């Protein structure tokens, strides 16, 4: 039979999942009575937020206008920048891609990133303009922008995925323009792993695209990255539920079960080959994906620690792209340090833990990975003595720090020309470095900047949307590490350091951020029976201070007139009592103070 493997790529909220729904209905893959909106987005959070978090694959049988039967393997991909690695894995399993663009929004940052990725992989791109049924849609201007981005004037299909207008025409273009998969059934087995999930009964279920040879139950396979071997117990197709079959042939997409219990043994983008029959080289596209944002998760109630550990382990089986390890904090007790692909990824994992496992959480300020060169660390790391630090509490003593390097990203911002002044001021404020500006139409521009990752993980996206009135879109990729004048700010309460409130910031913003933090803590921490000093310290020097006054009983209330010495004696006794309390007392920090504080974006 004829096979076509393709993917839908687009910016977030441009209608990928809606178009996938129309394709599923056109090919009768799912009966109408079982059909629902965003059919492939099975997670409750995906449906609620209207976003795709994990790439989904589905096999469809389609009868073309020519009368021939085709097998169409569609992979629906996420649109958000945090999940761009999901997109690169999906594209590696395809020969072509539908580039979907919203007619009312035009080309946006993720559209650009995905289009360039598909071009670099040599895929056939079919431009499709969606949402032409909207009143303010401008398909002509959108088509010009697509030409500018692709550097190739290809006709765009104009559709409305919502009402199905033009969807069949897109499938016909897929058949005519996207080439059939290459590969030979006579060659030794070579297959690409592009996704996996954990099933309670079957173990790890691997989504694979067979490039050469075929896979069937009973075969012994090996993974190129670690050499581990397993016996295949079951193979089949994704329709979109798992549908068992005898074998997956050359060019087809399907799943396999091999009794694997640990999902971390499976590397995305890895190559599968038959045990004992070595291959010349692995399929391209495999690379380790590393977290870029780190945060500490602590249970509000310390009794929930074991439940939190179980919850994180279970979530890690379904989403292996985040990692975790145990950590302790003097202020918050036992918890975990988690690494994420971005801030949305962090938000989704936190919400899933709270919602699916009913565990209230405190999440500490997100951090990036700093590389620190300190006295006494030379020789501990192959990169000339630099150590990687993800937690401010683990920073070496300020007197030992010789150099700090922070990660930079290459950011692409697509915005209307009229908003450029505000965007430029924001980029300058965030220590950005200009690379280039490119015009994609008379009214829209692409701005390319190098930015420190630490400046964009907190509130950059919100501020960008504010200065551009919601019209700017943003995409970034890791660029390099650079030496920066970074300092660690420590917060002292009653002369004791609170490790959970420490954070790393550029020296130029240290004073401003410290004052904001001290003022906010003064509001959040309740008054005690003694005076509390809230201080911010950099390199052993106090740079900001606020004082929380003591709760004071009116000891003179019982004195009606009388000698001043009597009153003075009572006040001196109270003063002495406060002094003793100050020496012996400890500050109780309510959990609400941490939770409220950590919701504050650092207002820089």
CB atoms within 10 A of CB 411: 25
Using one digit for the tens of pLDDT, what is the confidence trace for 187-206? 888 888 877 877 778 888 88
Total residues belonging to the chain: 604
DSSP notation for 554-587 = -TTTT--S--HHHHHHHHHHHHHHHHHHHHH---
Q: What is the pLDDT of residue 454?
A: 84
Shortest CA distance to 223 belongs to which of 179, 180, 300, 278? 278
Structure tokens at 48: 């609620």
Highest mean pLDDT (candidates 88-97, 249-258, 312-321): 249-258
Q: What is the predicted pLDDT for the residue at 79?
A: 66
221 has pLDDT over 80: yes
Separation of alpha carbons 448 and 413, rounded Å = 7
* Residue 315: strand, helix, or coil: helix
Structure tokens at 245: 């079959």
Q: When comparing pLDDT for 563 and 482, which is higher?
A: 482
**d(C-alpha 175, C-alpha 131), whole Å:** 23
The residues spanned by each domain of the chain are 2-177, 190-274, 293-363, 403-483, 488-599
Residues 6 or more apart in contact with residue 230 via CB below 8 angstroms:
220, 221, 258, 259, 260
Written out in words, the top-level CATH class of the domain with range 190-274 is mainly beta
Mean pLDDT confidence for 345-353: 84
| Burial of 191: CB neighbours in 10 Å, binned 0-12, 13-18, 19+ | buried
CATH class of 2-177: alpha beta
Beta bridge partners, 8, equal 76, 98
Phi, psi (5° rounding) for residue 64? -75, 170
Beta-bridge partners for 294: 339, 367
**Residues 487-516: tens digit of each pLDDT:** 888 888 877 887 777 888 888 888 888 888
pLDDT in tens, 590-602: 666 665 555 554 4
Confidence band for 316, pLDDT divided at 50, 70 and 90: confident
Instruction: Report in angstroms the alpha-carbon separations of 123 from 99, 159, 177, 336, 564.
Output: 11, 22, 11, 41, 92
List beta partners, residue 586.
none
What is the DSSP code string of 130-156? E-TTSTT--HHHHHHHHHHHHTS-PPP
What's the mean pLDDT when you consider all of the chain?
A: 79
Distance CA(543)–CA(554), nearest Å, equals 34
Q: For 293-363, CATH number? A: 3.30.70.870
Question: What distances in angstroms separate CA 329 from CA 95, 498, 507, 518, one per listed residue?
Answer: 50, 9, 25, 20
Encoded tokens for 267 = 């590397």
Q: Which CATH architecture has domain 488-599?
A: 2-Layer Sandwich (3.30)
What is this structure's pTM?
Answer: 0.73
> 596: part of which helix (H) or strand (E)?
helix 591-599
Helix (H, G, I), strand (E, B) or coil at 477: strand
- Is the pLDDT assigned to residue 379 strictly greater than 50? no
Q: Does the fold of domain 488-599 match that of domain 293-363?
A: yes
Q: What is the pLDDT of residues 5-52, one digit of tens each?
A: 888 888 877 777 788 888 888 888 777 666 666 555 555 555 555 666
CA atoms within 13 A on the CB side of 276: 4
pLDDT the model gives residue 244: 85
* Amino acid 556: pLDDT: 67
Q: What pLDDT score does 474 carry?
A: 79
Burial of 398 (0-12, 13-18, 19+ CB in 10 A): middle
Q: State the Cα–Cα distance between residues 6 and 73, nearest whole angstrom.
A: 6
What CATH number does the domain located at 403-483 have? 3.30.70.240
């Amino acid at each position: 039979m004829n096979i076509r493997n393709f993917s839908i790529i687009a910016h977030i909220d441009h209608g990928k999942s809606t178009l996938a729904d129309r394709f599923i209905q056109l090919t009768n893959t799912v009966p109408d009575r079982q059909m629902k909106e965003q059919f492939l987005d099975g997670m409750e959070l995906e449906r609620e937020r209207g976003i795709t978090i994990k790439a989904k694959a589905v096999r469809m049988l389609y009868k073309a206008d020519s009368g021939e039967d085709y097998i169409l393997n569609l992979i629906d991909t996420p649109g958000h920048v945090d999940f761009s690695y999901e997109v690169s894995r999906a594209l590696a399993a395809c020969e072509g891609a539908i580039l979907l663009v919203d007619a009312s929004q035009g080309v946006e940052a993720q559209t650009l990133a995905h289009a360039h990725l598909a071009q670099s992989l040599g895929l056939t791109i079919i431009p499709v303009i969606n949402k032409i049924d909207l009143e303010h849609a401008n398909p002509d201007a959108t088509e010009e922008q697509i030409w500018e981005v692709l550097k190739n004037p290809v006709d765009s299909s104009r559709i409305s995925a919502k009402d199905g207008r033009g969807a069949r025409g897109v499938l016909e273009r897929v058949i005519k323009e996207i080439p059939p998969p290459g590969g030979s059934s006579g060659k030794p087995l070579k297959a690409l792993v592009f996704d996996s999930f954990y099933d309670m009964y079957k173990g790890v279920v691997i989504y694979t695209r067979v490039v050469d040879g075929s896979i069937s139950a009973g075969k012994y396979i090996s993974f190129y990255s670690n050499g581990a071997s397993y016996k295949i117990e079951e193979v089949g197709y994704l329709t979109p539920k798992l549908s068992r079959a005898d074998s997956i042939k050359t060019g087809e997409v399907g799943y396999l079960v091999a009794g694997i219990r640990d999902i971390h043994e499976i590397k995305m983008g890895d190559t599968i080959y038959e045990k004992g029959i070595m291959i010349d080289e692995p399929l391209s596209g495999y690379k380790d994906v590393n977290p870029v944002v780190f945060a500490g998760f602590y249970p509000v109630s310390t009794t929930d620690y074991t439940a939190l550990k179980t919850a994180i382990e279970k979530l890690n089986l379904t989403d292996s792209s985040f990692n975790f390890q145990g950590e302790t904090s003097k202020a918050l007790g036992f918890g975990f340090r988690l690494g994420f692909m971005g801030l949305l990824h962090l938000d989704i994992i936190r919400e899933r833990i709270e919602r699916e496992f009913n565990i209230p959480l405190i999440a500490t300020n997100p951090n990036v990975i700093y590389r620190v060169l300190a006295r006494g660390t030379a020789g501990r790391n192959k990169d000339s003595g630099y150590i990687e630090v993800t937690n401010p509490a683990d920073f070496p003593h300020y007197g030992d720090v010789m150099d700090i390097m922070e990660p930079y990203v290459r950011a692409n911002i697509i915005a209307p020309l009229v908003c450029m002044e505000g965007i430029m001021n924001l980029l300058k404020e965030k220590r950005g470095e200009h690379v280039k500006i490119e015009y994609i139409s008379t009214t829209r521009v692409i701005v390319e900047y190098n930015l420190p990752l630490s400046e964009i993980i907190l509130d950059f996206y919100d501020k960008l949307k504010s200065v551009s009135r919601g019209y700017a879109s943003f995409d970034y990729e890791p660029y390099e590490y650079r030496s920066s004048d970074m300092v660690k700010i420590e917060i002292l309460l009653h002369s004791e350091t609170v490790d959970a409130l420490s954070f790393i910031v550029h020296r130029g913003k240290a004073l401003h951020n410290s004052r904001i933090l001290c003022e906010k803590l003064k509001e959040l921490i309740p008054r005690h029976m003694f005076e509390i000093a809230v201080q911010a310290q950099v390199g052993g020097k106090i740079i900001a201070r606020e004082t929380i006054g003591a709760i004071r009983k009116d000891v003179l209330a019982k004195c009606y007139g009388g000698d001043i010495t009597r009153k003075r004696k009572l006040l001196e006794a109270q003063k002495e009592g406060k002094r003793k309390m100050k020496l012996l007392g400890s500050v109780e920090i309510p959990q609400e103070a941490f939770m409220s504080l950590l919701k504050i974006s650092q207002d820089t």
